[in-house]
Structure 1
Amino acid sequence: MEHNRSLPLPFIFFLVSCFFLGRLETIVSAQRETYIVHMDKSFKPEFHPTHHHWYSSIVDALNNGNDPSSSSSSSLLYTYDTAIHGFSATLSPQELEILKKSPGFVSAYSDKMATAHTTRSIDFLSLNPSTGLWPASNYGEDVIIGVIDSGVFPESESFKDDGMTAKIPAKWKGICQEGEEFNSSMCNNKLIGARYYNKAAIAQNFTITMNSPRDINGHGTHTASTAAGNYVKDNYPLIYNKTFSACNSSKLLSDSAPEGIIICDQTWPVLDQIRHVTTAQLFGAIFISNSSEILFELGQVTCPGVVLSPQDAYPVIKYAESSENPSVSIKFQQTFIGTKPAPLASMYSSRGPSLNSPHILKPDIMAPGTRILAAYVPTQSSGVIGSNVFLPSNYNLQSGTSMACPHASGVAALLKGVHPDWSPAAIRSAMMTTANPLDNTQNPIRDNGNRLEFASPLAIGSGHIDPNRALDPGLVYDATPQDYVNLLCSMNFTSNQIFTITRSQAYNCSNPSSDLNYPSFIVYYDNQTISSTQKFDRTVTNVGDGAANYKAKVAAPAGSEVIVSPDTLVFGKKNEKQRYSLTIKYGSDKQGKESFGEIVWVEENGNRTVRSPIVVSPFI
């Protein structure tokens, strides 16, 4: 189905780090390293007009020091003043020690190499252009999605702004950075900005294969088009006439052929036709041949193409000749809808519990990530015929957590469009508490990584994302900055480490707590645990239309007891908050397995349900 291309859609901007690219070659230098340096900006001397000048002077002073072991001078790479305060620089061990004594120094961390983790999503998520979250959010108008990945292929149909009525949001302050094979005109009302950051890699003598935001890997293009790509037509005019259908001139096809799928007739050698069609970069082509060998030549074609026998081609040609406005879709048998059971937790899913913060149940949620069709770079292979014929394409099927993440990001962007006053925690809560733990057979989702047993929340979180239900969750578990500070204070971080994250010395650690106001619950046991009790305190906010009552419905994990107090929450108005406690009494499982249950707040005389998983797990 072709959707209305005049609808507004979320905007995209790119922050490209070459650390995500696979094609890097290291040459050197163990002596110098790149460091991310966190600073207390309140220490900036008044005679420096900006923090950038202050940081530059610090690095310059290091260069003036006596460091005989250094083979080159230290270098300021980037300065930061939004998410963090500080700068990045290449430093020797001696320079780092000197820097640590500078006024305002908080902490420094060595830069690390990171790698990217690697079709019917809209229908599968029940997103509809007429009802539900999509139109309620005005299709993401005025919402910006930022992507940090391997780059973007700006020529993709998914990033065109054709028909978009919305303009670039006034709040946008970014740029479209020019570079190798990338100029500012490649950004538009859909792809509103792009930047690349590779100074740290260059400083470490990595070979950069593309010095710009341009994607040569495909990963960034795929994820961005999934999260916020424009509509792409799946139906084109079918063209068959004497002028073009010989397909014997790439110049003629390129200069004069109308947009559509060309039928290449049998008046010219098929292999030559393939060459001309490829050079002309058509939208698609239909070739006619009885030879199976032609299939191996299709590896050269960068547009969708099919081969028909003369017998099968005849009715297609007759249709093109006799119809006033013939059209065609080339559909490949890659997707079979209605498969049951679905969804399944994939083997590659990122599973809990969290090693860094085990008291918070992870993962949060499950989203489509297997064989996702999205934009790609035509310089990379998207398929193969036999063992040595590689097929390029502007679109590709990919699987991985990287494919699931942009689905969740896209839904979050739509929710932000509907509820611009919601915090990130409220949006996360809405997505989690409305997620579906059941598959399309109305049984619990199964785990493909665990012999198709029923999936634990440690595999699927709260369940499969349900965008339309997340639009109206009833209650949300919100969190303030102080809630996160309380969590940090409970995790044995040093004062400098907490300051590195909060960027303020005014943080308050008087009430440390690992019990974050989160829409899920997890407790642990070991072999010595005979009986244990853990209490959680939660605050929920009524985001419904007005007064409402909710009643708790609990399914305790096997071998455990769950007590909720109070078991009824009464809200007199919208945005009112109520507190409750949940206490779990549990022991160890002799087989060392986790057990799980749930608490569901059910709206009285209403349709809303607010669900949170409960897990009892052995220690990590």
Structure 2
Amino acid sequence: MAIEWHISPMATPILKLGCSLIFTISLLASSSAQSDTYIIHMDHSAMPKAFSDHHSWYLATISSISDTAKSTFTKTSKHIYTYTSSVHGFSASLTQSELEALKKSPGYISSTRDRQMKVHTTHTSQFLGLSPSSGAWPTANYGEDIIIGLVDTGIWPESESFSDEGMTEVPSRWKGKCEPAGTKFNSSMCNKKLIGNYVKGASFFGYANGTSSDQAIQDGVDILSLSLTVAIEDDFFLEDDSIAVASFAAMEKGVFVAASAGNDGPNYFTLVNGAPWMLTIGAGTIDRKLEGVLTLGNGNQFSFPTVYPGNYSLSHKPLVFMDGCGNVNELKKVKNKIIVCKDNLTFSDQIENAASARVSGAVFISNYSSPSEFYTRSSFPAVYIGLQDGQRVIDYIKESKDPRGTVEFRKTVTGTKPAPRVDDYSGRGPFASCRNVLKPDLLAPGTLVLASWSPVSSVAEVRSHSLFSKFNLLSGTSMATPHVAWRLIKKAHPDWSPAAIRSALMTTAYSLDNTLSPIKDAAANDSPATPIDIGSGHVNPTKSLDPGLIYDAAAEDYIKLLCAMNYTNKQIRIITRSNHDCKNRSLDLNYPSFIAYFDSYDSGSKEKVVHRFQRTLTNVGDPMSNYSAKLIGMDGIKVSVEPQKLVFKRTEDYTLTLEGPDH
């Protein structure tokens, strides 16, 4: 849950923002079937005096274990990267026997096998309330000179989106280099801003993945945007999560880290990238529908979801009700007509049968009229409607002497309601590795987002012909992450800590959709979404520039949390790269949200459990502000806050108490 603090009136400061510089980073993978890539954590202080630097020490260590394992490789061929910022140590390709030998070497702390990374892969700016002429963009000067490190699978630098026309010079604090990387990428392709830029008139056929974080810290980025995650295994702890470890070091250096929540929803505990020192972002829809229209001969019309990319329409074609679509031979008899199917077969089977029969098109009637994006992007011209509309189509066919229909694609409708909704694929909390902090933090536009695309990679196939485009419509929490306005806040408030930026985004988020009802959950028949689904709500870029109050936190606060979670000294050292005695422990992180566990099956029990949360608020608004708390109760839970009014100078404390059935 979250607590709202209200003030009236609130001052609105004048702020400035601007454009951004982004670099891309390639990801490492295992190079040999006989070996795996490992990230090795070493005790930085254990380097023998005989070595001039840690890199030389690591190479010598690799050489020594190769002799032990009686291998015939060179030390440099096994060594991949030396870490100096996010962790202390190196990555190397090692056999199991070499790894065991390494564990006996002086200075060894731990090793983590490099896991495969999963990628979490227009109108969205208007939906966010961003305008070139007013609001957060011009107020913040478009985030000018903020350096953002984007970690994803790669780029197509020739795209118009990477043009640096109108860009200012690269900030002098940038320490990175533009070096050849990936496939057919050379340094001449770099410019003043290798980022996705606004491109006028972009469309999609008429419709609207080791070393990266460490290098990013050295290069001097302000923000890290991570659209991927490590593959989660059982008993997965934070020290096993390379992204969590690297992002802790980034946070210590003042780098704000935002990451996608993953695309494995909608079940509980499917969220990833939930370390408490990073911002975790889920994906939602926007107020835009990409659809087609079926028009019957009697004038009745039915809209349906589609992203069919073909330049194709079905005009005044005969309609035939086939009942089922299981018999391909029967379908072939009406191959120049539009078939109407009401079948228990999956959409996939029905589409395959209709395409094999080479019918002109098909209307699929189902109790689920909004199929997944996988089917709406089908290369077959299909109409998807629900049972009620489907019955009207069937009745028309039976009653008409010459039933006909027209199908039009490529329709874009904006201003649709309700929006936003959290989409079904968005990862849900709690975060299994840290259940004491509510995750995700925010929701942002992530469904069917118009994005740049490589023109040599096909975006679709229509009737055995591949289609190519400079743009594509993509969905995923990786699409949502770059929509969050951290860049604008960083430009407006360059001295704010990563926790302060996260707080500003969370406390100004909204929880009502454009019908003024609670944001809905697409995976739960549009019932109201919960904080486990959407965190504090949907990002609000303009309001986030002036939050009034912030919840701040520093590295020592996260260490207290790890200690209270009973992490061992070794585990904490892996994450923080330093030793801690854990004399100070606290599960009560100064976070803008709260999570408490009660037994819902024992609500009538006389035994009660009390959860108290201590928070410290910092006033970044009007210096003479007064704030009052607004509480919204929950069934079976007694909620109170003390004090109920805060009179500010700089910081004030309050305590939130939740009392409910014992678990």
TM-score grouping bracket, smaller chain normalisation: 0.5 to 0.7
Structure 1 counterpart of 2:618, from 537, 541, 549: 541
Structure 2 counterpart of 1:345, from 422, 427, 438: 422
Q: Which residue of 2 aligns with 1:230?
A: none
Question: Alpha carbons of 1:475 and 1:161: their partners in 2 closer, same or farther (altered >3 Å)?
Answer: same
Kindly indicate whether the alpha-carbon contact (under 8 Å) linking 1:107 and 1:497 is maintained by their aligned counterparts in 2: no
Question: Alpha carbons of 1:511 and 1:335: their partners in 2 closer, same or farther (altered >3 Å)?
Answer: farther
Q: Which residue of 2 aligns with 1:494?
A: 568
Task: Provide the C-alpha distance between the structure 2 equivalents of 1:116 and 1:71, rounded to a whole number of angstroms.
Answer: 36
Equivalences for 1:572-587 in 2 at 5 Å? Answer: 572=649, 576-587=650-661
Question: Alpha carbons of 1:405 and 1:460: their partners in 2 closer, same or farther (altered >3 Å)?
Answer: same
> How many percent of aligned residue pairs carry the same amino acid?
48
Which shows bigger deviation, 138-147 or 183-192?
A: 183-192
Which letter maps to 2:487?
A
Equivalences for 1:392-407 in 2 at 5 Å? Answer: 392-407=468-483
C-alpha displacement at 1:18, in angstroms?
5.2
Structure 2 counterpart of 1:38, from 41, 55, 58: 41
Return structure 1 stretches of 4+ with deviation > 6 angstroms.
Answer: 196-199
C-alpha displacement at 1:132, in angstroms?
2.4
Q: Secondary structure at the residue paired with 1:405? A: helix
Q: Which residue of 1 aligns with 2:592?
A: 519
State yes or no: 1:54 paired with 2:64.
Answer: no
Question: Alpha carbons of 1:198 and 1:95: their partners in 2 closer, same or farther (altered >3 Å)?
Answer: same
Q: Secondary structure at the residue paired with 1:578? A: strand
Kindly indicate whether the alpha-carbon contact (under 8 Å) linking 1:485 and 1:508 is maintained by their aligned counterparts in 2: no
Q: Which residue of 2 aligns with 1:17?
A: 27
Structure 2 counterpart of 1:447, from 499, 521, 538: 521
Kindly indicate whether the alpha-carbon contact (under 8 Å) linking 1:79 and 1:88 is maintained by their aligned counterparts in 2: yes
1:319-360 alpha-carbon deviations (Å, 9 max, x no partner): xxxxxxxxxxxxx94531110111111111111111111111
Q: Secondary structure at the residue paired with 2:90? A: strand
RMSD of aligned Cα (Å): 2.5
Q: Which residue of 2 aligns with 1:430?
A: 504
Kindly indicate whether the alpha-carbon contact (under 8 Å) linking 2:602 and 2:661 is maintained by their aligned counterparts in 1: no
Task: Provide the C-alpha distance between the structure 1 equivalents of 2:83 and 2:529, rounded to a whole number of angstroms.
Answer: 42
Kindly indicate whether the alpha-carbon contact (under 8 Å) linking 1:18 and 1:198 is maintained by their aligned counterparts in 2: yes
Q: Which residue of 2 aligns with 1:356?
A: 433
1:468-521 alpha-carbon deviations (Å, 9 max, x no partner): 00000000111111100011112222211111111112x351121222111111
Kindly indicate whether the alpha-carbon contact (under 8 Å) linking 1:15 and 1:197 is maintained by their aligned counterparts in 2: no
TM-score in terms of structure 1 length: 0.67
Equivalences for 1:223-242 in 2 at 5 Å? Answer: none
Equivalences for 1:305-324 in 2 at 5 Å? Answer: none
C-alpha displacement at 1:133, in angstroms?
1.9
**Higher relative contact order, chain-length normalized (CA < 8 Å, sep 6+):** 2
Question: Alpha carbons of 1:391 and 1:403: their partners in 2 closer, same or farther (altered >3 Å)?
Answer: same
Q: Which residue of 1 aligns with 2:199?
A: none
Kindly indicate whether the alpha-carbon contact (under 8 Å) linking 2:18 and 2:140 is maintained by their aligned counterparts in 1: no
C-alpha displacement at 1:371, in angstroms?
0.7
Which letter maps to 1:421?
D
C-alpha displacement at 1:550, in angstroms?
0.4
Kindly indicate whether the alpha-carbon contact (under 8 Å) linking 2:437 and 2:595 is maintained by their aligned counterparts in 1: yes
State yes or no: 1:88 paired with 2:109.
Answer: no
Kindly indicate whether the alpha-carbon contact (under 8 Å) linking 2:18 and 2:488 is maintained by their aligned counterparts in 1: no
Which letter maps to 2:432?
L
1:426-453 alpha-carbon deviations (Å, 9 max, x no partner): 1111111100100011111111110110
Q: Which residue of 1 aligns with 2:150?
A: 147
Which letter maps to 1:110?
R
Q: Which residue of 1 aligns with 2:7?
A: none
Which letter maps to 2:457?
Q
Q: Which residue of 1 aligns with 2:459?
A: 382
Which letter maps to 2:49?
E
C-alpha displacement at 1:460, in angstroms?
1.1
Kindly indicate whether the alpha-carbon contact (under 8 Å) linking 1:119 and 1:371 is maintained by their aligned counterparts in 2: no
Task: Provide the C-alpha distance between the structure 2 equivalents of 1:513 and 1:532, rounded to a whole number of angstroms.
Answer: 18
Task: Provide the C-alpha distance between the structure 2 equivalents of 1:198 and 1:171, rounded to a whole number of angstroms.
Answer: 21
C-alpha displacement at 1:128, in angstroms?
1.7
Q: Which residue of 2 aligns with 1:182?
A: 185
Q: Which residue of 2 aligns with 1:109?
A: 112
Question: Alpha carbons of 1:8 and 1:423: their partners in 2 closer, same or farther (altered >3 Å)?
Answer: closer
Question: Alpha carbons of 1:27 and 1:50: their partners in 2 closer, same or farther (altered >3 Å)?
Answer: closer
Q: Secondary structure at the residue paired with 1:58? A: helix
Task: Provide the C-alpha distance between the structure 1 equivalents of 2:180 and 2:648, rounded to a whole number of angstroms.
Answer: 54
C-alpha displacement at 1:97, in angstroms?
2.5
Q: Which residue of 2 aligns with 1:459?
A: 533
Equivalences for 1:258-297 in 2 at 5 Å? Answer: none
Q: Which residue of 2 aligns with 1:551?
A: 628
Task: Provide the C-alpha distance between the structure 2 equivalents of 1:71 and 1:63, rounded to a whole number of angstroms.
Answer: 8
Which letter maps to 1:11?
L
Structure 2 counterpart of 1:480, from 532, 554, 561: 554
Question: Alpha carbons of 1:345 and 1:198: their partners in 2 closer, same or farther (altered >3 Å)?
Answer: closer
Equivalences for 1:192-231 in 2 at 5 Å? Answer: none
Kindly indicate whether the alpha-carbon contact (under 8 Å) linking 2:31 and 2:93 is maintained by their aligned counterparts in 1: no
Kindly indicate whether the alpha-carbon contact (under 8 Å) linking 1:168 and 1:192 is maintained by their aligned counterparts in 2: no
1:561-581 alpha-carbon deviations (Å, 9 max, x no partner): 111011111112xxx111111
Q: Secondary structure at the residue paired with 1:89? A: strand
Task: Provide the C-alpha distance between the structure 2 equivalents of 1:508 and 1:443, rounded to a whole number of angstroms.
Answer: 48
1:381-416 alpha-carbon deviations (Å, 9 max, x no partner): 22343x4222111111111111111112xx111110
Which letter maps to 1:447?
D
Kindly indicate whether the alpha-carbon contact (under 8 Å) linking 2:611 and 2:657 is maintained by their aligned counterparts in 1: yes
Kindly indicate whether the alpha-carbon contact (under 8 Å) linking 2:114 and 2:210 is maintained by their aligned counterparts in 1: no
Task: Provide the C-alpha distance between the structure 2 equivalents of 1:536 and 1:402, rounded to a whole number of angstroms.
Answer: 32
C-alpha displacement at 1:52, in angstroms?
0.8
Which letter maps to 1:80?
Y
Kindly indicate whether the alpha-carbon contact (under 8 Å) linking 2:450 and 2:473 is maintained by their aligned counterparts in 1: yes
Kindly indicate whether the alpha-carbon contact (under 8 Å) linking 1:119 and 1:335 is maintained by their aligned counterparts in 2: no
Question: Alpha carbons of 1:334 and 1:28: their partners in 2 closer, same or farther (altered >3 Å)?
Answer: farther
Question: Alpha carbons of 1:198 and 1:413: their partners in 2 closer, same or farther (altered >3 Å)?
Answer: closer
Which consecutive unaligned segments of at least 5 residues does structure 1 have?
1-6, 20-25, 200-222, 228-331, 589-618
Task: Provide the C-alpha distance between the structure 2 equivalents of 1:494 and 1:94, rounded to a whole number of angstroms.
Answer: 27
Q: Secondary structure at the residue paired with 2:110? A: strand
Equivalences for 1:560-571 in 2 at 5 Å? Answer: 560-571=637-648
Task: Provide the C-alpha distance between the structure 1 equivalents of 2:163 and 2:188, rounded to a whole number of angstroms.
Answer: 12
TM-score in terms of structure 2 length: 0.62
Which consecutive unaligned segments of at least 5 residues does structure 2 have?
1-16, 197-208, 213-259, 261-280, 282-408
Which letter maps to 1:444?
P
C-alpha displacement at 1:72, in angstroms?
5.2
Q: Secondary structure at the residue paired with 2:656? A: strand
Q: Which residue of 2 aligns with 1:172?
A: 174
Task: Provide the C-alpha distance between the structure 2 equivalents of 1:389 and 1:93, rounded to a whole number of angstroms.
Answer: 47
Which shows bigger deviation, 110-119 or 461-470?
A: 110-119
Task: Provide the C-alpha distance between the structure 2 equivalents of 1:458 and 1:131, rounded to a whole number of angstroms.
Answer: 33
Task: Provide the C-alpha distance between the structure 1 equivalents of 2:624 and 2:52, rounded to a whole number of angstroms.
Answer: 53
1:83-116 alpha-carbon deviations (Å, 9 max, x no partner): 1111011223332233223222211111111121
